[in-house]
A and B are shown apart, each in its own frame.
Chain A
């Protein structure tokens, strides 16, 4: 296989960055309706949460530490 020239490699690297970063987007505060949906909440099912807590406590001898937010509208 033919090796790339230094110039070709730098182009390839540049294209790689562009391809990688084009997928990144900042969800604007006013576009977070879907994120605010109840289904996006980690604790939407009280029974499931209680079961997980019980399993964690039984197996790991730990409890709590579930205060990290996930999903949500990130509103003020």
Chain B
């Protein structure tokens, strides 16, 4: 009987190990996926030679909606300094996303990851998740925290740090 318990335990351990392996998240330093290959709905902005800030959000996610005005402010402040913001909606329902955007228009690009190709490639650890991508395509930093009073300061600092990776102007 002990032998079967051991084998059963081993089977469970293997299953859990496989699950853990499958669920590995993206880390700073990793290469960010090529957006052109991600089957996203919408227009992807030109990010060549710029810092890309990818904001994963959804209309059903209240903290994501609370973060939107902050993202908007960052766009207004840093767009001309080399920051490109791309909001990636993970709404299953396109109409819900469109309804939210009609009520809260944003000046930055918004795409929908309808097939979850980007989400599966990046595996954002929570909602919202913000990823900063250096001009060379590697991930500079990932912010996936509660949208509380310190969120704006944290995100602003991340933007300023990420912008330091821009090549010096000639």
Closest 6 CB pairs of A and B: A30-B90, A36-B60, A76-B126, A33-B60, A75-B127, A30-B119
Question: What distance in Å separates the Cβ of A5 from its nearest Cβ neighbour in chain B?
Answer: 12
Q: Taking CB as reference atom, which chain A residue is nearest B12? A: A17
Q: Which residues on the A side are within 8 Å of B32 (C-beta)?
A: none
Select one of B11, B62, B113 contacting A17, CB under 8 A. Answer: B11
- Name the interface size band of chain A: 20 to 34
Instruction: Identify whether the interface residues of B are mostly helix, strand, loop, or mixed.
Output: loop
Q: Taking CB as reference atom, which chain A residue is nearest B122? A: A30
Q: Which residues on the A side are within 8 Å of B40 (C-beta)?
A: none
B7 at the interface (CB under 8 A from A): yes
- Name the interface size band of chain B: 20 to 34
**Chain B: residues with CB nearer than 8 A to chain A?**
3-4, 7-8, 11-12, 15, 19, 23, 56, 58, 60-64, 90-93, 113, 116, 119, 123-129, 144-147
Question: What distance in Å separates the Cβ of B152 from its nearest Cβ neighbour in chain A?
Answer: 14
Task: List 22 A-B residue pairs with CB atoms under 8 Å apart, sorted by A's residue number.
Answer: A6-B3, A13-B11, A17-B11, A26-B19, A28-B119, A28-B123, A29-B124, A29-B127, A29-B129, A30-B90, A32-B60, A33-B60, A33-B92, A36-B60, A73-B60, A73-B61, A73-B127, A74-B126, A75-B61, A75-B63, A75-B126, A76-B146
Q: Which residues on the B side are within 8 Å of A73 (C-beta)?
A: 60-62, 127
A10 at the interface (CB under 8 A from B): yes
Is the beta-carbon distance between A29 and B125 smaller than 8 angstroms?
A: yes
